[in-house]
Chain A
């Protein structure tokens, strides 16, 4: 019952159409990503990169088309097997770094790793007892990344993941993504900046 199935997973979308606020964002979108593959979703502002990630995460309902995950856990839905890292980082300023992380680890459930170890990996182990409200934007992003490491999910949906990260942080994150892919995971990332790993490009809405 391990969280990641080796080598035979395939996340795909067919003929996706997304409508938000009465306006069609994109239509007829197809994509596919297998185990160990990263897809970089690119496109100009407002082309629907975030919307695509939210469709996969089950946070938006597609107006048309379907998204499937083959070879995943048979009893879980697709969103239950995804990590979503959005613009908003789901951290409570009143709680400490450790409390924020252990809450999500307890709440999200599934196969988990040591929280302190994940914090060390993202370079936050010196701030474990600091309230999250005192963290800088880059540190908050690092704390969100620690969530991806503490709880194992095969599919990572990342929205501008390198935002606010310094150069060392971007290198660290590229390393983490490589590890995830090597373990058979799937990454779909919306991005403007290069991801720092080998990835397939999925362009939405014409040339930026």
Chain B
């Protein structure tokens, strides 16, 4: 987010950039400290994936066929688990009131919060993927393919999940409601994420087509997510 000079943005926008950077720094800091959500997601991801070989059994061929699906499911569930608190914590301690009142547009503040969440909770999942690939008998290329699809696809999970997190604040219901609302939105991401990884491992499809759709889903959610979440938060003012 480079702001070159003062000409391309009106004056009003410059303070916004400082504000957004401050919001991202704060959220990452909270997530990484004791009691923050970042570690919980990664631990959950590790647990799901580590347990899977024991459940499936010692069939190595089956394991490597299921590998991408297991990794993707683990990542999806881990991000659902941590997204729940995205706005709820700020709502409960009154921060959301001040964020709503501030000079920063609520849409940008929502986008900044989602970005911070992805950096703190989504990125570690991708970093952990190569290690877990070993457990699932995935070779280097397959692991790289899964990591790449996760890199392209997890922003979509975060930004669509944000809509559910905002609705959970608006409707004063947490947890389960959010999972129910968000799951249908994450299904396309899951389908194309796994399809792209499978294409590398077993073929016969090309990697490019499902991967492009995955990227498109991420870009669309990047645009729609902040607006939908901000609209929901504004509507639920109370």
Contacts and interface: CB of A to CB of B under 8 A. Distances in A.
Given A99-B29, A106-B19, A108-B19, A76 B97 contact: no
Interface string A75-106: 11001101010111111101100010011101
A109 B102 contact: yes
B8 interface: no
- Chain A interface, >50% SS class: loop
Contacts of B238: 20, 59-60
- Chain B interface, >50% SS class: helix
A58 interface: yes
B102 to A, nearest CB: 5
Interface size class of B (residues with CB under 8 A): 20 to 34
Nearest to B97: A59
B102 A107 contact: yes
B100 A58 contact: yes
Nearest to A91: B93
Contacts of A67: none
Contacts of B30: 92, 94-95
A106 B22 contact: yes
Given A90-B95, A94-B35, A103-B26, A59 B19 contact: no
Contact of B23 (A20, A79, A99, A107): A107
A51 B101 CA distance: 15
Contacts of A82: 101
Nearest to B98: A90
Nearest to B10: A75
Interface string B98-119: 1111111000000000000000
B170 to A, nearest CB: 13
A109 B35 contact: no
A95 B26 contact: yes
B51 interface: no
A77 to B, nearest CB: 9
A61 interface: yes
A102 B23 CA distance: 11
Interface string A162-192: 0000000000000000000000000000000
A48 to B, nearest CB: 14
A39 interface: no
A110 interface: yes
A57 interface: yes
A80 B36 CA distance: 30
A59 B101 contact: yes
Contact of B36 (A60, A76, A86, A94): A94
B101 A89 contact: no
A21 B62 CA distance: 55
B100 A108 contact: no
A75 B15 CA distance: 14
A84 B92 CA distance: 15
Interface in A42-80: 57-61, 75-76, 79-80
Nearest to B29: A95
B13 to A, nearest CB: 11
Contacts of A99: 26, 29
Contacts of A60: 237-238
A92 B30 CA distance: 8
A80 B93 contact: no
A108 B103 CA distance: 7
Nearest to B35: A94
Interface in B9-48: 12, 15-16, 18-19, 21-23, 25-26, 29-30, 33-36
The 4 lowest CB-CB distance pairs between A and B, nearest first, are: A88-B94, A106-B22, A109-B15, A79-B101
Interface of A: 20, 57-61, 75-76, 79-80, 82, 84, 86-92, 94-95, 99, 102-104, 106-110
